[in-house]
Amino acid sequence: MREKIIKNKKISNEKSVIVKPEISKVPFEDLHIEGEKHFKLRAECINDVLLLIEKMRKRDIWAIKIEQCGFLPDVDFEFKTTKTLDEILTILRKQVDSHVMIDTLAPYNEYTGER
C-alpha cells in the first residue's frame, strides 16, 4: 500500500516506514549493598509488577528489570532488595490477584518461572 507523504510542500508517493526503537538493556548497577538479595518472579501483567513496586518502599527495591514473556501479557520481573523472601511474600499476599507472582518468586539463581 502506498501512501502520500508531504515533504517540503511537495507530494511524494514514497511508502512510509515506521521504525520501532530497539529496547535498550541497561545493566544492573553493582551497588553491593549489605544484605542485598537478588530475586526474580513472573507476573500476569506489568500492572501487577507496578503495584508490587508501589507497595515496596522505593529505598527497598532497586536494579529493576522487566521483560515481556513472548507474546503473552506475562512479564518476568528481576530486582534487588534487602527484604527477605518471606517479607516479599507477605506484601504479595496482600495484593489482589498476585498468585502467579507468589508461585514463581525465587532467588535469581533458582528462578525457573514455573508454577
> Could you tell me the CATH number of the domain that includes residue 40?
3.30.70.260
Q: Flag whether 6 is in a domain.
A: no
**Per-residue pLDDT reduced to its tens digit, 8-64:** 545 545 554 444 444 444 444 556 677 899 999 999 999 999 999 999 987 788 889
* Set of cell numbers at residue 28: 544492573
Count the domains in the chain: 1
Q: Flag whether 100 is in a domain.
A: yes
Q: Flag whether 92 is in a domain.
A: yes
Q: Flag whether 2 is in a domain.
A: no
User: What does pTM read for this prediction?
Assistant: 0.70
Q: Flag whether 88 is in a domain.
A: yes
Q: Cβ distance 74 to 68 under 8 Å?
A: yes
Q: Flag whether 84 is in a domain.
A: yes
Neighbouring CB atoms inside 10 A of 2's CB total: 9
Q: Cβ distance 93 to 76 under 8 Å?
A: no
**Per-residue pLDDT reduced to its tens digit, 77-98:** 999 999 999 999 999 999 999 9
Q: Cβ distance 108 to 42 under 8 Å?
A: no
Q: Flag whether 49 is in a domain.
A: yes
Q: Flag whether 11 is in a domain.
A: no
- Map residue 28 onto helix, strand or coil: coil
Domain boundaries, position 30: 23-110
